[in-house]
Structure 1
Amino acid sequence: MTASLADLTDRMLQAAHRAGAESADAVAVDGTSVSIDVREGRLEQAERAEGVDIGLRVLIGRRQAIVSSSDARDATIQTMAERAVAMAREAPEDPHIGLAEAEQLARDTDSSRLQMHDPSPEPDPAMLEEDARRAEAAARGVAGVTQVQGATAGYGHRRVHIAATNGFSGGYARSDRAISCVAVSGEGTGMERDWDADSRIFQADLRSPEEIGRLAGERAAARQGPRRPRTGRYPVLFDERISSSLVGHLVAAANGAAIARGSSWLLGREGDRVLPAGISLTEEPHRPRASGSRLFDGEGLPTTERALVDDGVLTGWILDLATARKLGLQSTANAARGTSAPPSPSVTNLRLTQGEASREDLIAQMGTGLLVTSMIGSTINPNTGDYSRGAAGFWVENGEILHPVNECTIAGNLRDMLMSLVPANDARDHLSRIVPSLLVDGMTLAGD
């Protein structure tokens, strides 16, 4: 599957050796992406991109340098290697860098069981254009929709191969198929917009363009006539479309790079309760048909499922080799790698424990408060966890949605917010981050 890319990474490693590198690793990526935009029933834009990117990291002692290129000719690769070695000799020493030991490396590199690549033929542009037209037409058919800002259908396919002088060599292919639609209701200063989208690895799993367009239109129409909420402290329900952002803040704080810098509000809290009892956050790198799946990380270490938070308790950090060495720990096989930067810690797929209540049950439970369906801007203090974001959604009183809301700010502290989470049962299982709607008690709303 990745024979040509394997050859390309091998050529880079050989060039690095000839140039004087003591060790090296290489990444090669090639891919195709197609995007078709439709507006007012007509083709607005069509884009197709194809290319290859290569990256080479060389190490000399405890010094390293990285170079990248989109030119895979032998002469270019040799020039890259020579420049990288020259740069590494002038780079500052870092006692924590270095490749994995041979015994640490993944042995199973056949990613076919993860189903990350759809073997069906690439859709032709006419098929993508038709999908976008159908989504736009469905949105326009919703009462209250005055225009459709745009409908897009796209396809992507890429292959990745990683190799290093420690003996590791592995690659995989990924594909994705997507449809999105943005609808607008109202006129002039009273315009409101909303969206829907779907992205899948397998084209057969993709929701219909009609459903995507209709939901975008219904959501935009429902936002007509918004008001600003009362200022005060209220429960806030984060809709499933945006609730994963809260988990993202927790994951960012548990990132080994932030811990090593001392710039995380989770610093010193390993083994402490950070979520309510009964709620776990699990990383699932081997989940089939999920966009974040991988058998090995960017440094060739085997990935494994683990609970980042187990029954509410933080179990540890998200680590690659370098950050693990800084902290005196072992890598958790969370290295991510591009062609132009060294490895850094990053998670794969995540799953948050779901609750038993539906979103409607939580709306009834919250009494008076805010259902947030979209957010803009962000002020997150990484050291203290102080949280403030612009929000829009729907005002709830006596457990019922009354009217749409915009132009308000929600604020709190992530430590308190996460400890008060009440999850719904509405998470979508095909997403990389499976997170349901989340009810947070006692946030500060700034409105009228």
Structure 2
Amino acid sequence: MAQTPETLTHALLDAAAKAGADSADAIAMDGTSLSIDVRGGALEQAERAEGTDIGLRVFVGQRSAVVSASDTKAETISAMAERAVAMAREAPEDPWAGLAAPAQLARDWDAAALEMADPAPEPAPAALEDDARAAEAAALAVEGIAQVQSASAGYSAQRVHLSASNGFSGGYARTSRGRSCVAIAGEGLGMERDHDGDSRVFQSDLRSAEEIGRTAAQRALGRLNPSRPRTGAYPVIFDERVAASLIGHLVAAASGGAVARGASWLRDAMGEQVLPEGLSLIEDPHRARAPASRPFDAEGLPTRRRAVVENGVLKGFTLDLANARKLGMEPTGNAARGPSSGPSPRAWNLELTQGTQSRDALAAEMGTGLIVTSMIGSTINPNTGDYSRGAAGLWVENGEITGPVSGVTLAGNLRDMLLGMTPANDARPWLSRIVPSLRIEGLTLAGT
């Protein structure tokens, strides 16, 4: 009988019980991935990977341990279970550890409705190579492009199954196909590069390779001959390409793990205003064809649509079972894990309320300031929300873009920044984080 992720998880649970575990859960995943890179019109690299990974978490009282392997032979599974139980017996007790109660488990889900896996056949390597060649050729066809650093295409397919001794058993499949291009403009020390790419669950939804190559080229050209702005306090627009990183800091601070450790600037902010009135941040793990959709989490709990922030007010932390127990709250179905680790909280698909104006309209209103299109480095104080990042982008004078800038450091406090933001209307609806361009008032810019 052929092994599947489902049969592997049940074999792991049987072995854990024989080894003396009081309870256990197991995860198994198998899949394939294929990636193609071209340079100068020639194939540079082709890589295919296939594999299966299994993970087992066992409990002995309030003590637990996790082991993993990529070997699925019966003797390996038996040895894993014996080792996990031996490790658990030596581990410190954790009063918050344990599986979900049967009444908490997901039931009657419809994974097919989420369209997490494309039924189309796996693309041939030649088709992916054609994608990469087309993206490179389109970039090189744009006047002023010196070279293409990389042009790539890839595909992956994966099956995941989770089983636990509390009676849960469930799995699903997931696919992804992507195209990307990095173009270089200019010469010598004046070279600048930029990129574009697209990744989708369904291959038919992908933007064309030619569009991706041209966009990468145009972005690279737009970065040539940058200047450094004057140091001072200015309004800043985080372009849609990077705006999700700003919301990502809010999501990280609302993680139950950070809150439970006391290492979050939102730890005492439940019920308080954290975004402007009228803005909400909604998590929807049931959005069709979205990269982070799933019918249940890594502890077998049902996922559901919920408001992280509603009308500007913080409504919920992102919680797995253990952190929910620590905080005296209900879990939110946000546990994530891999074969070699236990569960931890992670947010799924997120969407921020969009505004009514374009990014350029927001820029016209701000007068003089910066549009950030790329960022480097990060210094974020998780306890206070103090923020400092390097940035590059476009300078705006009197509401008009005057040229590229680089070598800028942005500084502020996330609590103040998020309360003073204005969203545009340009978010891409297929991403896992749907976040438009965001204008922030009064950031400190360190330039010349």
TM range (shorter): over 0.9
SS at match of 1:196: strand
Cα deviation per residue 1:327-350 (whole Å; 9 max; x = unaligned)? 111111111111111100001000
SS at match of 2:257: helix
Is the contact between residue 109 and residue 170 of structure 1 (CA under 8 Å) also seen in structure 2? no
**Which amino acid is 2:239 matched to?**
D
**Which amino acid is 1:217 matched to?**
A
Q: Which residue of 1 aligns with 2:247?
A: 247
1:6-405 to structure 2, matched below 5 A, reads: 6-405=6-405
Is the contact between residue 387 and residue 414 of structure 2 (CA under 8 Å) also seen in structure 1? yes
**Which amino acid is 1:234 matched to?**
Y
SS at match of 1:396: strand
Q: Determine the C-alpha separation between the residues in 1 that align with 2:326 and 2:173.
A: 32
Cα distance, 1:283 vs. partner? 0.2
Q: Determine the C-alpha separation between the residues in 1 that align with 2:108 and 2:300.
A: 10
Cα deviation per residue 1:348-381 (whole Å; 9 max; x = unaligned)? 0000000000111111011100000000000000
**Which amino acid is 1:267 matched to?**
R
Cα deviation per residue 1:205-252 (whole Å; 9 max; x = unaligned)? 000000000000000011111001110000000010110001100000
Cα distance, 1:3 vs. partner? 8.2
Cα deviation per residue 1:102-150 (whole Å; 9 max; x = unaligned)? 0110002331110000011100111000100000000001111111001
**Which amino acid is 2:114 matched to?**
L
SS at match of 1:317: coil
**Which amino acid is 1:441 matched to?**
E
Q: Determine the C-alpha separation between the residues in 1 that align with 2:328 and 2:388.
A: 34
Q: Determine the C-alpha separation between the residues in 1 that align with 2:4 and 2:112.
A: 18
Q: Determine the C-alpha separation between the residues in 1 that align with 2:316 and 2:224.
A: 45
Q: Determine the C-alpha separation between the residues in 1 that align with 2:402 and 2:236.
A: 15
SS at match of 2:181: strand
Q: Determine the C-alpha separation between the residues in 2 that align with 1:316 and 1:198.
A: 31
Q: Determine the C-alpha separation between the residues in 2 that align with 1:255 and 1:240.
A: 23
SS at match of 2:4: helix
Q: Determine the C-alpha separation between the residues in 2 that align with 1:280 and 1:144.
A: 42
Cα deviation per residue 1:7-60 (whole Å; 9 max; x = unaligned)? 110000000000000000000010100000001111011110000000000001
SS at match of 1:242: helix
Q: Determine the C-alpha separation between the residues in 2 that align with 1:284 and 1:238.
A: 24
Q: Determine the C-alpha separation between the residues in 2 that align with 1:174 and 1:19.
A: 33
Q: Determine the C-alpha separation between the residues in 2 that align with 1:26 and 1:221.
A: 50
Q: Determine the C-alpha separation between the residues in 2 that align with 1:378 and 1:54.
A: 34
Cα RMSD of the aligned pairs, angstroms, is 0.9
Q: Determine the C-alpha separation between the residues in 1 that align with 2:240 and 2:3.
A: 41
Gaps of 5+ in 1: none
SS at match of 2:247: helix
Q: Which residue of 1 aligns with 2:420?
A: 420
Cα deviation per residue 1:389-420 (whole Å; 9 max; x = unaligned)? 00000100011100100011011000000001
CA distance 1:3–1:100, shift in 2 (3 Å)? farther
**Which amino acid is 1:405 matched to?**
V
Is the contact between residue 109 and residue 171 of structure 1 (CA under 8 Å) also seen in structure 2? no
Q: Determine the C-alpha separation between the residues in 2 that align with 1:108 and 1:295.
A: 10
Is the contact between residue 392 and residue 407 of structure 1 (CA under 8 Å) also seen in structure 2? yes
Q: Determine the C-alpha separation between the residues in 1 that align with 2:365 and 2:225.
A: 25
**Which amino acid is 2:279 matched to?**
I
Which segments of structure 1 move beyond 3 Å, counting only runs of 4 or more?
none
Cα distance, 1:4 vs. partner? 1.8
**Under a length normalisation based on structure 1, what TM-score does the superposition of the two structures give?**
0.99
Q: Determine the C-alpha separation between the residues in 2 that align with 1:110 and 1:160.
A: 15
SS at match of 1:78: helix
Is the contact between residue 281 and residue 309 of structure 1 (CA under 8 Å) also seen in structure 2? yes
Is the contact between residue 307 and residue 316 of structure 2 (CA under 8 Å) also seen in structure 1? no
**Which amino acid is 1:427 matched to?**
A
Q: Determine the C-alpha separation between the residues in 1 that align with 2:366 and 2:376.
A: 23
Cα distance, 1:382 vs. partner? 0.2
Q: Which residue of 1 aligns with 2:409?
A: 409
Number of residues of Structure 1 aligned to a counterpart in Structure 2: 447
Is the contact between residue 135 and residue 213 of structure 2 (CA under 8 Å) also seen in structure 1? yes
Q: Determine the C-alpha separation between the residues in 2 that align with 1:4 and 1:146.
A: 49
Segment of structure 1 superposing worse, 3-12 or 344-353: 3-12
Gaps of 5+ in 2: none
Q: Determine the C-alpha separation between the residues in 1 that align with 2:439 and 2:340.
A: 40
